[in-house]
Amino acid sequence: MAAAPHKNIGTPDRTMEKKSESLFLDVRGLRYHVRRWGDPEAPALYMLHGWMDVSASFQFLVDALRGDWCVIAPDWRGFGDTQWSGTQSYWFPDYLADLDRLLELLHPGQAVTLVGHSMGGNVACLYAGIRPERVARLINLEGLGVSNRSPEEALTRYRRWLDELAATPAFRTYPDFESFARRLRERYPRLAPERAAFVARHWARQAQSGEVVLRADPAHKRVNPVLYRLPEAMACWRAVRAPVLWVEGGESEAAAWHNLTPEEIAERRACFASIECATIAEAGHMLHLEQPEALARLIEDFLARKAAAGA
């Protein structure tokens, strides 16, 4: 039986308007960290972060929301303040099972709104088809799905995975948080200095050596030996009953990373029975960091329209 939530309210950050609390839950044998903003009785928005991100990155988006919401954002297994799995590799279906358990712990039997970014968007889209009764509305931020791989690639993928298991993965380190914040601003020029400093403190921690390292299990760097099977993902997407808001960054390189053509992206969007698409012009892949105010307006306008229409 899962342990009851343990509340640990951290030191407020003076640059943030809305304060979060930390819940620690027993989720499938791991100590899971879940960040929560707002009144627990308010309508729930679950925000699911992407690969190498953490729940605190949604802070600016939460600050920009105008309505009264209970925003719940977990750190996925092996990220942020959630326990590492203790295994050599991470498996995508575990994110689905973790989400399923979190919903059962926090909103049993209820349909909720999922907001997923990148990897979190892929998790949300799959889950909404697998458990359509648990998802009332779905907001996919840059969760395009990855490249469709041919079966012939399995041979080299398995070989690479075995080779990587024999090595010790490691992340780049930084001399201090200020250096890491500067690196974040190089990657995301629209990130204001105070916001970069906030993100740096949540994405990274200070190691015993004094260096700053990412809050993530280095095992995440190992390649997944199981190929992404697009037909299987699309079968799940076609089962989604919730209305979908699909949001992309106008300057995002995510499609290029996965060699996706506009026609392939359109084919993926067409799997969803009820979908609206939007683009934030002056934003890259990290929409919630670069343009949180514009993104918040898109999300709340979409939810208001669907509520008015009874959808």
Average pLDDT over residues 193-222: 96
Per-residue pLDDT tens digits for 82-134: 999 999 999 999 999 999 999 999 999 999 999 999 999 999 999 999 999 99
Give dist(CA 258, CA 280) in Å, integer: 20
Cα–Cα–Cα angle for 124, 126, 127, nearest 5°? 65
- What is the pLDDT confidence band of residue 16, given thresholds at 50, 70 and 90? low
Query: Model's pTM, two decimal places?
Result: 0.93
- Residue whose C-alpha is closest to residue 272's, from 90, 143, 87: 143
Q: What pLDDT shows up at residue 147? A: 87
Indicate whether 9 pLDDT > 50.
no
- Residue whose C-alpha is closest to residue 95's, from 133, 56, 53, 136: 53
Q: Which helix (H) or strand (E) holds 37?
A: strand 30-37
Average pLDDT over residues 70-80: 98
Average pLDDT over residues 59-74: 98
Of residues 3 and 211, more confidence is placed in: 211
Give dist(CA 261, CA 288) in Å, integer: 24
Average pLDDT over residues 281-297: 96
- Residue whose C-alpha is closest to residue 94's, from 272, 217, 202: 217
Q: What pLDDT shows up at residue 17? A: 79
Give dist(CA 124, CA 109) in Å, integer: 17
Q: Percentage of the chain with pLDDT > 70?
A: 95
Indicate whether 275 pLDDT > 90.
yes
Average pLDDT over residues 161-166: 97
* Cα–Cα separations (whole angstroms), residue 86 to 62, 97, 258, 306: 32, 17, 29, 42
Instruction: Provide the 3-class DSSP secondary structure of residue 214.
Output: strand
- Largest alpha-carbon pair distance within the chain? 56
> Are the C-beta atoms of residues 267 and 230 closer than 8 Å to each other?
no
The CB density around residue 85, as the number of other CB atoms within 10 Å, is 18
Contacts 24+ apart (CB under 8 A), 254-259: 254/118, 254/142, 254/144, 254/285, 255/144, 258/144, 258/145, 258/146, 258/147, 259/147
CATH 3.40.50.1820 fits 6-148+228-308, yes or no: yes
Per-domain residue ranges for the chain? 6-148+228-308
> Are the C-beta atoms of residues 135 and 298 closer than 8 Å to each other?
no
Indicate whether 39 pLDDT > 60.
yes
Query: Across the chain, what does the average pLDDT equal?
Result: 93
Indicate whether 10 pLDDT > 60.
no
User: What is the torsion angle, in degrees rounded to the nearest 10, for the CA atoms of residue 246, residue 53, residue 105 and residue 19?
Assistant: -100
Indicate whether 281 pLDDT > 50.
yes
> Are the C-beta atoms of residues 163 and 147 closer than 8 Å to each other?
no
Q: What pLDDT shows up at residue 6? A: 35
Indicate whether 303 pLDDT > 50.
yes
Strand 112-117 versus strand 44-48 pairing type: parallel
